[in-house]
Amino acid sequence: MLHTGRLRATSKTIHQTSRLVHPGCGENNFSSTSRDQRNEQPHRNELRNWLRISLCLLPAILIAGCAPSEKKSAPAAVSSQAIAPQVTEKPDPPAPAPSQSTMEQQRVRVLIQQVESAYNRGESDYRKGLLPEAKLEFDRAVDLLLSSNLDIKGSPQLQDEFDHVVDRINALETEALKQGNGFVPQVEPTPADVATDVTFQVDPNIVAKAKADLATTKSDLPLVVNDYVAAFINFFANTQKGHNTLLHSFQRSGHYRAMIQRVMAEEGVPQDLIYLAVAESGFQPTAVNRKSRAGGMWQFMPWDYYGLKRNSYVDERFDPEKSTRAYARYMKYLYDQLGDWYLAMAAYDHGAGNIQREVSKTGYGDFWELYKRNELPRETANYVPEILAAIIIANNPKQYGFEDVTLDPPILTDTVTVNYSVDLRLVSDLVGAPIDELHALNPSLLRMTTPPETSFDLHLPAGTATLFNDRIALVPEDKRNSWRYHAVAQGDTVASVAREYRVEPSALATANQLKTDDSLAGLQAVVVPVPLSVSPSSHTRLYTVRRGDTLVTIADRFGVSLTELRRWNKLTGVKVETGSRLRVAEPTAVQSTTTVHRRKTSSTTSASSTPHAGASAKTAPARSRTARPATTAKSTAKKSTSKRKTVVRN
């Protein structure tokens, strides 16, 4: 009975509610059955009432559910409790993770900003007349694009940026070419180059002054002042061209002075022999000459008579310290053979065999006697007095208007000896120095990698040797000519780093003992197993330019420097004509064994514009063209009665 009463009460409540909601379901529907019948069949009536109520309520529920949404804002007639479920706000969904395309677009935007920043710095330097600095920034702008590992051709934005940057750089370089040598700085002519118009009608006052200064000049060479020396002193002190050229030579000497003085002392030769570099290169260690093949600060010929290595990887004529040591030893050898420093200087320019021939011909073992008798070529005759004038001025700078010489700061480096091949791009990664700086510190290196299976003294920025040694140990020795070192940045993943260097994620993970889905968080760096580029063989030295190629992309493809590629093909800029054929490896150099005498008929050029490989033609002293004399010649001021045999290379 209790259960039945609860059902009846519930039925009544629902019945009353149904009348409010749906008038068609009235109380008459329930009163058609008598009380007696309900008492007799309570369960059946209850079930029937439930069904009727459900049918009456269904239309009302449907109507309420289909009400227009705008009615939600109307004032509600029922209590807030009845409508609460309809106004409950859902929480904001979490922000979706950035898609791959979004991340790629972000990288493109950042890259373009970096490229534009580098270009703008270069343009600013160009407008200031700082062409070498401008060239570095322009090269950096192009390199940023090419080394980004983004698909330039597949991205309209990057392709437009690449074309725009290259076009602007070419326009500025064309403008610079009209005014001089383009972005490649012209090597300043040496004092010897500009002193060709020296006249020897000397003011006696100049001679008197120079002799007075000589009395207080301290030198480890026997100095003399005569009309020939005084003529050059006058030229360097009292003409703008002579003064500026010697001034700049003195300034550049600051880079190397301490090193040269140390080497001279170690080899036991006079310190003032440093000033032969004034005549040879103006202290420009990458200077080369177009016509003979001499190069470097001391203008050695590209032969192996001085203990300097020269191969397809290295040309030590352009190593400042090694070439200086070779120079000191060679000067000592010449002095031992000729017995006189002036004759040794002349032999350095003209060749020992030639000087010995002149001594034998005249019977005089004295430079000034050979000079007076016109037995020397004009260049050699001027060579010694020019150097003596530079020594006297250097020791008395205030007396000759050079009191304000500011020496360039010495070049400080750390040196590590490597016995394996290592790519400069890896070195750049390890020590955080730009590749351009590493090239400048290692001018003897002809490629992007050090030579394999032989030692090489690698010069690094000062203070970075320990960092290099610690980090290079992470890279297997046989992989150091191609692998890279990547400092992990925030957001880096195995996949993103692999994509940046165009390697497989699985290869990157294996090289670092990781899994492809491992996080890089907490790691300082990873090594990147970049495969070794295929070097062109001697039979594949030519490459046919394809559409879209530039000198930069071709140099990168074949693992050579842009400077080398330009030199081998006598090109400037970065654009190259489609279909043209380029040398992509160093042309084979053929050694000449004929006697060639040096004549400075053209000024030297820079190894940065005509780089320092031995294949380029340069002007050099004849010192390497003569074999060792069979006998020694001793200096004497009197006529010599002895005969000397010389062996001259034909």
List the beta bridge partners of residue 298: none
- Given the candidates 2.60.40, 3.40.50, 1.20.58, 3.90.320, the CATH classification of the domain at 102-179 is 1.20.58
Burial call 585-607: b when 16+ CB within 10 Å, e when fewer: bbeeeeeeeeebebebeebbbbb
Report how far Cα 349 is from the mean position of its chain's Cα atoms: 35
Least confident stretch, 498-512, 534-548, 577-591: 534-548
| Whether the predicted pLDDT of 235 surpasses 70 | yes
| pLDDT at residue number 122 | 86
| pLDDT at residue number 287 | 86
- Given the candidates 3.90.1150.10, 3.10.350.10, 3.30.390.50, 3.10.450.50, the CATH classification of the domain at 542-583 is 3.10.350.10
Least confident stretch, 95-99, 110-114, 350-354: 95-99
User: What are the tokens at 591?
Assistant: 């050694």
Rounded Cα distance between 96 and 182, Å, is 52
The pTM assigned to this predicted structure is: 0.60
Mean pLDDT of 93-102: 62
Rounded Cα distance between 128 and 23, Å, is 94
What confidence tens digit (pLDDT) does each residue in 477-495 have? 999 999 999 999 988 999 9
What confidence tens digit (pLDDT) does each residue in 451-464 have? 998 999 999 999 99
| pLDDT at residue number 530 | 92
Residue intervals of the chain classified under CATH 1.10.530.10 are 191-408+607-625
9 pLDDT tier (thresholds 50, 70, 90):
very low
Mean pLDDT of 6-29: 42
| Whether the predicted pLDDT of 435 surpasses 70 | yes
Tell me the three state secondary structure of residue 74: coil
187 pLDDT tier (thresholds 50, 70, 90):
low
Residue intervals of the chain classified under CATH 3.10.350.10 are 542-583
* Maximum mean pLDDT: which of 149-163, 419-433, 590-604: 419-433
CB 370 within 8 A of CB 633: no
| pLDDT at residue number 304 | 61
| pLDDT at residue number 84 | 46
| Whether the predicted pLDDT of 576 surpasses 60 | yes
- 281 vs 631 pLDDT, higher one: 281
Least confident stretch, 236-250, 296-310, 471-485: 296-310
Share of residues in the chain with pLDDT > 70 (%): 67
- 445 vs 151 pLDDT, higher one: 445
- 301 vs 176 pLDDT, higher one: 301
145 pLDDT tier (thresholds 50, 70, 90):
confident
Short-list 461, 622, 556, 606, CA closest to 144: 556
What confidence tens digit (pLDDT) does each residue in 490-520 have? 889 999 999 988 899 999 999 999 999 999 9
Short-list 251, 599, 623, 243, CA closest to 406: 251
Average pLDDT, the chain: 75
- Given the candidates 3.10.20.10, 3.30.2290.10, 1.10.530.10, 3.40.50.2300, the CATH classification of the domain at 191-408+607-625 is 1.10.530.10
Residues 6+ apart with CB under 8 A from 456: 313, 314, 417, 418, 419, 445, 450
| pLDDT at residue number 197 | 57
